[in-house]
Amino acid sequence: MRFLFLLLLLMILRVSFVNAQVVNVERMRLNSKKQGWSGSVAGNVDLQRNQRSVFAVGGNAHVQNRVDSNTYLLVGKTGFIKASEADLVNFAFGHFRYTHYVTDFLSLEGFTQLQQNRVNGIASRWLIGVGPRGKVIDNDNANVLLGFLVMREREREVVDSIPINRDIRISSYIAGSFTPQSAKYISFTNTTYFQPRVGKFADIRIASDWNVEVSLRQNLRLVTTFNIVYDARPPVGLDKTVYALKNGLRFTFG
């Protein structure tokens, strides 16, 4: 079973990787207590605004396997982007994360991520990081978690004359979910990341991801997501603040 999981990882990491500047994987596992395999597939239509208007259609899937106190998470995305005054761009994205639960409230994790987004000025970005993650609140209606990771980043911008950036960043975040007691069919989640560069903390990325899910059937949900990112040192030609509004459907299993 582990061999199959690693094979899926290698297949996804072979493609070109893309999407937003800071990708929120946390919301895909806020309720990840189940043992065994689980996951979801989703499709969405996106309207984004950075230095240009962007229209995107895409799909994503994640597969998770929890074995005792260990969780393996694999996330992939694919689709296409049409930007004003730019050609159609196919995209994909991959993220793999391993989490070891030391206690019910404390875990250690490591991850690797590859992405590409030429619309946002990124030819390629590779991340690898480790760190602790802890639960602050955990009950039937609400969850709040804190994470503090250190990651290595290698980024190449679309403009060839820009040197390749090789930085160490802190990736701290707070993530939460809430389901009203009187309306179990709807849930709200938010994850906010703070990613300053070690040695130059003024070079920081701040990303906040807001998500609303409405249950249509047992395993089918309508999903609306708003993502906003501030990058103190964005790629050449890109605004410091960009945002994306996404609407789509998600099917879950497991």
Domain borders along the chain are: 2-253
Which tens digit of pLDDT belongs to each residue from 219-252? 899 999 999 999 998 887 788 998 888 888 888 8
Which tens digit of pLDDT belongs to each residue from 107-161? 999 999 998 877 677 788 899 999 999 999 988 899 999 999 999 999 888 887 7
pLDDT for res 243: 87
Say yes or no to pLDDT of 164 above 60: yes
Which pTM was predicted? Answer: 0.76
Say yes or no to pLDDT of 179 above 80: yes
pLDDT for res 67: 92
Residue ranges in the chain assigned as alpha helix (H): 2-13
Tell me the mean pLDDT in the region 33-45: 81
Q: Are 202 and 194 in contact (CB under 8 A)?
A: no
Dihedral angle, C-alpha 138, 26, 193, 44, nearest 10 °: -130
Say yes or no to pLDDT of 163 above 80: yes
In the chain, % of residues over pLDDT 70: 79
Say yes or no to pLDDT of 87 above 70: no
Q: How far is CA 226 from CA 48, 121, 188, 210, 247, in A?
A: 10, 21, 12, 5, 9
Say yes or no to pLDDT of 86 above 90: no
pLDDT for res 2: 44
The pLDDT mean for the chain works out to: 82
Tell me the mean pLDDT in the region 212-224: 90
CATH architecture of the domain formed by 2-253: Beta Barrel (2.40)
Max Cα–Cα distance, the chain, nearest Å: 56
Which tens digit of pLDDT belongs to each residue from 66-85? 999 999 999 988 777 776 66
